[in-house]
Amino acid sequence: MTATTAAAPALAADAPATAKRRGYWSTVWERLRRDPVTIGCAAIIGLILLAAISAPLIAPHDPYDTNMLKRLAPVGTDGFLLGTDELGRDMLSRLIYGARVSLFTAIAPVLGALAIGGTLGIVAGFLGGRVNMIIMRTMDVFYAFPSILLAIAISGALGSGIVNAVISLTLIFMPPLCRVAETVTTQVRNLDFVQAARATPASTGRILRVHILGNVLGPILIYASSLVSVSIIIASGLSFLGLGVSPPEADWGLMLNTLRQSIYVAPLNAALPGVMIFITGFCFNLMSDGLRSAMDVKL
Amino acid sequence: MLLYILKRLVYTVPIALGVSIICFALVHIGPGDPLSTLLPEDAPQEVVDRLKAEYGLDKPLVLQYVIWLGKALTGDFGISIVTSRPVLGEVLPALVNSLILAIGGSILGFLVGTTLGGLAGFFHGRPADRVFTGMAITGVSVPHYWLAIVLVIIFSVELMWLPSLGMNMSGSTAFTFSIENFRHMVLPVIALSVIPAGIVTRTVRGAVAELLNQEFVEALRAKGMSERTIIRHVAKNAAPQVLAVMGLQLGYLLGGSILIETVFAWPGTGLLLNNAIFSRDIPLLQGTILVLALIFVAMNLLVDVAQATLDPRIKR
């Protein structure tokens, strides 16, 4: 792959001399293998993803099946491993199904922002000049809002719903991704090998594809992965406020909201959805940190 | 220095204008008419037209924006649709209450963050560093509204030590320096402080670890200075960066307190926003967000100027 070979000289510059011969990605893999924390976090995220995908197969009950006689059964009740919620629905099944919506509303905005903000940033960094100024000054305006406030403002104006939540979150993650992409692209653009490529008859498109993209995508992707942990907290927060997913959908933030009334009766049940948000955010954070040091990226 | 402040001020103007455009646009991106909450479905057309004229909604968008901005500049943020009172009159008292929480959260976060971060940086690479860094990552990954609920479960429901809702027992929304008010503040302040504590820990750790590697520290050691003097020198050098991060965090806390204020029913701007959203009180929503965003812009400016004053290298 041309992109990988182009990435090697810029990013692995201060890797040990012996490792250099083995190529960039095998060095990264070598470092990752010796980092149990990152591997562990990746495994947990993988498990949660797997559970979300195979929810109908592994959930012990129907997540929408209410049972008024068994409301707020405590954790460990026979047949309901993690108890039931305020409508007698099985907590474990709802937490498993909840992973689907919660992960979607956390990851989709980051991907959307990555596509739009990342592209804008690379364009701004590559072209520089007036284009750069227009794009980056526009982004500065979005920076003038605390991100949670902007997400809530946009969601509040658009009204509740998954789509609106994803739109508002995409908008708040666009500026930081754009800024990182612009910074990295500007740095790479001024490196010698890009200047050398420009002296050859290579087209702008080819230079962008081979030399720029290959070198900027890594750092941008790592930054994006760290945003997922912020995203899941804000996305679940929107649902918690009643601005995201609407009932009876299973979503961790929404479950936290509806179970809040039951903290006097079943405190443990009420706290469980938050544990899932926390674990997911925590693992994404640690994984992103681990990848960052393994890939030797400084942001 | 004066030139730098002036330059930053000039740069702030377009940003503030952009902020006002976004706040104005909020009204128009929503579904339906902003008046829909006021009017019954079958309101006669002439009533709709009269109200539209009264709120200025019959004019072209650009003109509406200019009029709205002109009024906002003189402190007139419009009339709340639900309470029929001036928006600014609703926002200011709530802002005071939010500021109290945000300042409390910042101070606690700063104290915890500098302590943990300083220790982590000092023991860079050793087990203690790992423990404190782990705590910092926990701080930034924990959903603070969930932590708020957990705090309520532990300290209000189980132990019954602290109150879980509101500002005081009487239901008044004016803050006074009473034990009563402080008791109500404890849990929200703790819940608010975890994110800044985590972020400050990371910043301080990075700054301290980097500074300790620098030559001047070596020189101080070679001169036979005590560890305490070295710590003082390092702290002085790390201060501008840490203060900048903290200043921004105060702004974030003020703007992002809606989740915590909702959990604790604390009568601040967050709760006001929440009510504005669910009663679709658009002028109130717009006004609150504009005030909060402008404070955040001012905070950014202040941080930049303060940083430049403390550290002359920053001025370009």
Q: pLDDT per residue over A149-193, tens digit each?
A: 889 888 888 888 889 999 999 999 999 999 999 999 888 888 878
Instruction: Return the bridge partners of A77, or none.
Output: A80
- Chain B's closest residue to A157, CA to CA, is B30
Average pLDDT along chain B: 83
**In chain B, which residues have their Cβ closer than 8 Å to the Cβ of A240?**
145, 259
**Nearest C-alpha neighbor of B250 from the set B94, B95, B106:** B106
pLDDT value at A19 more than 60: no
B301 touching A (Cβ < 8 Å): no
pLDDT-above-70 percentage for chain B: 92
Torsion of CA B308, A226, A245, A93, to 10 degrees: -150
pLDDT reported for residue A191: 81
pLDDT reported for residue A178: 94
B161 touching A (Cβ < 8 Å): no
Neighbours of A5 (CB within 10 A): 13
Task: State the pLDDT confidence band at A13, using cuts at 50, 70 and 90.
Answer: very low
- Chain B's closest residue to A146, CA to CA, is B252
pLDDT reported for residue A107: 93
pLDDT value at A71 more than 80: no
pLDDT value at A279 more than 90: yes
**B contact residues 114-153, partner A, Cβ 8 Å cutoff:** 137-138, 140-147, 149-150, 152-153
Query: In this predicted model, what pLDDT tens digit does every residue of A20-58 receive, in sequence order?
Result: 456 778 888 888 888 888 999 999 999 999 999 988 888
R_g of chain A, CA atoms, integer Å: 22
Mean pLDDT of A112-117: 94
Mean pLDDT of A52-66: 83
**How far apart are the C-alpha atoms of B191 and A8, rounded to whole Å?**
44
Helices assigned H by DSSP within B56-123: 61-73, 87-122
**In chain A, which residues have their Cβ closer than 8 Å to the Cβ of B195?**
none
**How far apart are the C-alpha atoms of B183 and B166, rounded to whole Å?**
11
Q: Which residue has the higher pLDDT, B81 or B141?
A: B141
Least confident of A253-257, A260-264, A283-287: A260-264
Judge: A147–B292 Cβ closer than 8 Å, yes or no: no
**In chain A, which residues have their Cβ closer than 8 Å to the Cβ of B137?**
282, 285-286, 289
Helices assigned H by DSSP within A55-191: 55-58, 91-127, 129-143, 147-158, 162-189
pLDDT reported for residue B169: 64
Least confident of A281-285, B2-6, B25-29: B25-29
**How far apart are the C-alpha atoms of A241 and B28, rounded to whole Å?**
22
3-state secondary structure of A90: strand
Mean pLDDT of B28-51: 70
Least confident of A217-231, B107-121, B177-191, B301-315: B301-315
Judge: B29–A271 Cβ closer than 8 Å, yes or no: no
Neighbours of A106 (CB within 10 A): 27
End-to-end C-alpha distance for chain A, whole angstroms: 25
**In chain A, which residues have their Cβ closer than 8 Å to the Cβ of B141?**
229, 233, 278, 281-282, 284-285
pLDDT value at A262 more than 70: yes
Nearest to A274 among B143, B273, B293 (CB): B143
Neighbours of A251 (CB within 10 A): 29
Distance from CA of A160 to the nearest CA of B (A): 10
Distance from CA of B266 to the nearest CA of A (A): 15
pLDDT reported for residue A166: 93
pLDDT value at A284 more than 80: yes
pLDDT reported for residue A295: 81
Query: In this predicted model, what pLDDT tens digit does every residue of A137-151 receive, in sequence order?
Result: 888 888 888 888 889
Mean pLDDT of A281-296: 87
Task: State the pLDDT confidence band at A276, using cuts at 50, 70 and 90.
Answer: very high
pLDDT reported for residue A40: 92
Helix (H) / strand (E) containing A71? none
**Nearest C-alpha neighbor of A263 from the set B206, B137, B160:** B160
Distance from CA of A158 to the nearest CA of B (A): 4
Task: State the pLDDT confidence band at A12, using cuts at 50, 70 and 90.
Answer: very low
SS3 letters for B108-163? HHHHHHHHHHHHHHHCCCCHHHHHHHHHHHHHHHCCHHHHHHHHHHHHHHHCCCCC
pLDDT value at B40 more than 70: no
Mean pLDDT of A105-115: 94
Using CB atoms within 10 A of its CB, is residue B205 exposed (0-12), middle (13-18) or buried (19+)? buried
Average pLDDT along chain A: 83
Query: In this predicted model, what pLDDT tens digit does every residue of B188-227 receive, in sequence order?
Result: 999 999 999 999 998 898 888 888 888 888 888 888 888 7
pLDDT value at A117 more than 90: yes
pLDDT reported for residue A1: 36
pLDDT value at B314 more than 80: no
Question: B179-212 and B227-256 helices cross at what angle (nearest 10)?
Answer: 130
Task: State the pLDDT confidence band at B170, using cuts at 50, 70 and 90.
Answer: low
Q: Which residue has the higher pLDDT, B5 or B27?
A: B5
The answer to whether the beta carbons of residues B98 and B182 sit under 8 Å apart is no
**Nearest C-alpha neighbor of B49 from the set B67, B35, B68:** B35
Task: State the pLDDT confidence band at B110, using cuts at 50, 70 and 90.
Answer: very high
